[in-house]
Amino acid sequence: MYSSILWDMGGTLIDTYPAVDNLLARIGYRTSAPTAAQLSEVAALRSVSIEHAMNKLHQLYGADLDALHAGYAELKETWRTRPAPLMSGARRVLGAVHDAGGLNLVATHRDRRSAENLLAAHGIEVDDMVCAPDGYERKPSPQMYQVLIERHHLDPATVIALGDRPIDVEAATAAGIRGYLLDHRGEEAGTLASLSDVLELIGEQV
């Protein structure tokens, strides 16, 4: 059984993407009520990265890059007092990891201030966190995972990485640990449909 988890943040630990997609679509398409098709297109672009989505909206539709960046910065600020919700089952998994004697560690592309604000707003304390803007390589580089594993002297055989994008699993594989992809739509074979599926991996029965 595994005991420690390397968490991605957005889309894995905290459900930030609906608000992000809506924001990008409203600004990118200049509408107050994005259509399902527009939100779907933005989600596909954002699955690469938020920066990628902004740049593509600018290229394809002439979206104002300054407005996109300003809107995203404002959204992150609102999360200090009105945070995006936790993913369903997250608290239970976090608790199960500690009950198993493991560590909850976060490796995120999010800037540290935003990440810490989101965690604090939910009253969540993780055991450690590395943020790419602090000077680490972004996934699929394994660097952030490697730093956390080495810093806490973890046996890679007892660690899993959870993420919502293929790059999370690619980074885990490169770091020599098992990576699991969360697919909340349940459309991809071999993926986890929810965080509840993680409990069996760390010894807790659902």
* Residue of 126, 136, 135 lying closest to 162 (CA atoms): 126
Give me the tens of pLDDT residue by residue for the chain, a chain 206 residues long: 799 999 999 999 999 999 999 999 999 999 999 999 999 999 999 988 899 999 999 999 999 999 999 999 999 999 988 999 999 999 999 999 999 999 999 999 999 999 999 999 999 999 999 999 999 999 999 999 999 999 999 999 999 999 999 999 999 999 999 999 998 554 454 588 889 999 989 864 43
Please work out, in degrees rounded to the nearest 5, the angle formed at the alpha carbon of residue 169 by the alpha carbons of 80 and 57: 55
* Residue of 204, 193, 194, 156 lying closest to 6 (CA atoms): 156
**pTM as predicted:** 0.89
CB contact at 8 A, 166 and 181? yes
